Structure 1
Amino acid sequence: MRTEITDIEALRDHRAAGHDLRDTVLIGLDLTGHGDLLRTALDGAVLLGCEVPDRTRRQAEAAGALIFPDIPDLPYHVYRTRLYTPAELFDGFDPGRPETYADTPDARIYEHSKQQGRSPDPLHALAERLHDHSITTALAEVLATCTPPPVAVMGGHALTRDSEGYRAAMRLGAALGVAGFTVLTGGGPGAMEAVPYGVRMPDHVDELHAELAKSPRFGADAAAIGEWLATGLRPSLPDSEPLTIGIPTWFYGHEPPNPACHLHAKYFANSVREDGLLTVATGGVVYTPGSAGTVQEVFQDYTQNHYTSIGPAAPMVFLGKHFWTTEVPAAPLVRQLARGRDAEEWILVTDDVDEAVALLRKYSAT
């Protein structure tokens, strides 16, 4: 396992402790004036996006280091070391001028991604893959500290803020938060937004729902998205735990990330993001009513549980009996596939949020 170092002080401490830099990864460091820190064994060392003077570069490469420069003229940083915050994604947004959403990093990165098309040239393809790898690493570091294990909630993006379904999703989030779960969602609007609002303000669901309902849905242009965002930013959300983490994608960049999550692990590649979200939800997944995307996630999740490819089978909770057994009868098929397997014990179809949380807590205790 390679050691990753992301700030100069950590590098100084590493060297002061008598360690060399063999098989070490340095990320985003300005090494100007710090060439002495590289005067050691560098076999297998990797420098990603570091500022390195020419002479130091030549010496490092001669000593066996691999140096990957930053990629210029991009609206995002390729070698990230942390997840995004809403403040970072929406930097420059003025709630009094909703059209300014178009000038935020989130909107500019989406526009840049659209210009590359579905098959970007090799340079941009490499940049996006490196970015997404960095996001995966940063997400793993955050989740490694979470106890109990994180729980994901899946559901439709089309759920409007003024609907009873949105309020129900907020109440689900409140129950999960009170139980102490780190909560993951797809990071967009609809149920993906309602749940983290509930986690963060469990005692004010009804008042918050009434406030958010003033801007019920996101629109198709920057100004309409900005109006939706301005309303979502109005409540003063506490920074207290448990964490809520959104995992959205610029593949569906017309859907803005929500302002309710503490952090966002935003990806370019939807396939990496979608599979990754299910994989890191080691405490189980709750499925609220959704459309084709949510149904796809059901069977991706069950495949992981069926073959125990990433660990033991985890809970699959279908919240909404009529929807999941009659309107979109995915739950009976999952139960049929799970018959006689370890996954069978952890499949629940219910209308009761408390019953859902009880199953998740039972699993986390194991």
Structure 2
Amino acid sequence: MSESAERPGPPPGQRSRGPVVLRRAQVQSGTTDQRLLDSRGPSDWVHTDPWRVLRIQSEFVEGFGLLAELPKAVSVFGSARTGPDHPEYEIARRLGSALAVAGFAVITGGGPGAMEAANRGACEAGGVSVGLGIELPFEQSLNHWVDIGINFRYFFARKTMFVKYAQAFVILPGGFGTLDETFEALTLVQTQKVTRFPVILFGSAYWGGLIDWLRSTVREAGKIGEHDLDLLHVTDDVDDAVGHILAAESERSAQAQAERAAVADRPSP
């Protein structure tokens, strides 16, 4: 008897689907190719988790491909509910303009309000204006001041783009979404997933209560470290915000040069 004839076949009621083994009641009729090519079959498969993995992958590929050639950039967050007549709108517009003049692309969530204002300022100053939108139950299209835009299905893919392609965050007054991005950034900096990454809260009157609570309650209870609040820079001045980012960039550049020099001076084995 040949070697191949001696190999036992799969147990009764077992089927392999690529690297996956299914047995008993989990065995499905037909093959993957049959279900792909048979257009008469049900369409529920496009809503399954394995198919969602491909959608998630496509969002990362699309985002990386679109943003890979961006110049240095700053992500600006703020409320979509900030009206054009509100003072914060004009502040965001001036901030976007100042960042563009300093050589930074401006990345926002692409929506209305403070996001629109920052994109507008960057666009008017001749800079690169980027919007990373998100699919929501209510309609919120990318604002008209976005030059490079992409809409995401998944918040976590979108968040990755905000951090990966930015050298800093500037956070204007906002709601839950803005707070979410703020603490996401702080967590990444605190755990050193990103380094030398300024997180700037713009508007001391708005953010003062949060800072007081973090200092008097969270830090006093030992839930954050003694110097964790140093990760935040609070300001009311556009020039101060941009200057803080430029200083961090200069420090980051000097550190990178020092690291390259150290590698170059290392003796060969």
Following TM superposition, by how much is the alpha carbon of 1:158 offset from its aligned partner in structure 2, in angstroms? 0.6
What does residue 180 of structure 2 align with?
A: 296
2:59 to 123, 135, 138: 135
Q: Would the alpha carbon gap of residues 135 and 330 (structure 1) be closer, same or farther in structure 2, given more than 3 Å must change?
A: farther
Whether 1:251 and 2:132 are equivalent positions in the alignment is no
Q: What are the within-5 Å matches in structure 2 for residues 31-42 of structure 1?
A: none
Runs (4+) off by over 6 Å:
none
Native 8 Å contact 1:135 1:265 kept in 2: no
| Letter matched to residue 179 of structure 2 | V
Q: What are the within-5 Å matches in structure 2 for residues 101-116 of structure 1?
A: none
What does residue 283 of structure 1 align with?
A: 167
What does residue 362 of structure 1 align with?
A: 247
Q: What are the within-5 Å matches in structure 2 for residues 44-193 of structure 1?
A: 121-124=44-47, 129-148=53-72, 150-193=73-116
What does residue 29 of structure 2 align with?
A: none
Structure 1 unmatched runs, 5+: 1-65, 73-119, 203-239
- Which moves more between the two structures, 160-169 or 134-143? 134-143
Following TM superposition, by how much is the alpha carbon of 1:128 offset from its aligned partner in structure 2, in angstroms? 5.7
| Letter matched to residue 204 of structure 2 | K
Native 8 Å contact 1:289 1:323 kept in 2: yes
Whether 1:322 and 2:205 are equivalent positions in the alignment is yes
3-state SS of paired residue (2:75): strand
Native 8 Å contact 1:177 1:183 kept in 2: yes
Identity of aligned residues (%): 27
Native 8 Å contact 2:107 2:162 kept in 1: no
2:214 to 328, 333, 336: 333
Native 8 Å contact 1:155 1:294 kept in 2: yes
Q: What are the within-5 Å matches in structure 2 for residues 235-274 of structure 1?
A: 240=126, 242-273=127-158
CA distance in 1, matches of 2:81, 2:124: 22
Q: TM-score, normalised by structure 1?
A: 0.50
- Which moves more between the two structures, 165-174 or 127-136? 127-136
| Letter matched to residue 302 of structure 1 | L
Native 8 Å contact 1:173 1:199 kept in 2: yes
| Letter matched to residue 186 of structure 2 | Y
Following TM superposition, by how much is the alpha carbon of 1:357 offset from its aligned partner in structure 2, in angstroms? 0.3
Q: Would the alpha carbon gap of residues 286 and 127 (structure 1) be closer, same or farther in structure 2, given more than 3 Å must change?
A: same
Following TM superposition, by how much is the alpha carbon of 1:147 offset from its aligned partner in structure 2, in angstroms? 3.6
Native 8 Å contact 2:106 2:130 kept in 1: yes
| Letter matched to residue 177 of structure 1 | A
Q: Would the alpha carbon gap of residues 182 and 332 (structure 1) be closer, same or farther in structure 2, given more than 3 Å must change?
A: farther
Following TM superposition, by how much is the alpha carbon of 1:199 offset from its aligned partner in structure 2, in angstroms? 0.5
Q: TM-score, normalised by structure 2?
A: 0.67
Native 8 Å contact 2:119 2:146 kept in 1: yes
Q: Deviations over 1:183-217 (max 9, x none)?
A: 11111111111101000113xxxxxxxxxxxxxxx
What does residue 307 of structure 1 align with?
A: 191
CA distance in 2, matches of 1:281, 1:331: 31
CA distance in 2, matches of 1:168, 1:308: 31
Q: Would the alpha carbon gap of residues 145 and 281 (structure 1) be closer, same or farther in structure 2, given more than 3 Å must change?
A: closer
CA distance in 1, matches of 2:120, 2:212: 27
Following TM superposition, by how much is the alpha carbon of 1:134 offset from its aligned partner in structure 2, in angstroms? 2.7
Q: Deviations over 1:293-348 (max 9, x none)?
A: 21122111111111122x3141100000010013xx1576289546446x83x521
3-state SS of paired residue (1:198): helix
CA distance in 2, matches of 1:357, 1:262: 22
Q: Would the alpha carbon gap of residues 247 and 121 (structure 1) be closer, same or farther in structure 2, given more than 3 Å must change?
A: farther
Following TM superposition, by how much is the alpha carbon of 1:132 offset from its aligned partner in structure 2, in angstroms? 4.3
Native 8 Å contact 1:331 1:349 kept in 2: no
CA distance in 1, matches of 2:198, 2:225: 12
1:348 to 233, 236, 242: 233
CA distance in 2, matches of 1:193, 1:306: 29
Q: Would the alpha carbon gap of residues 304 and 122 (structure 1) be closer, same or farther in structure 2, given more than 3 Å must change?
A: farther
- The size of the alignment, in residue pairs, is 206
3-state SS of paired residue (2:133): coil
CA distance in 2, matches of 1:144, 1:281: 8
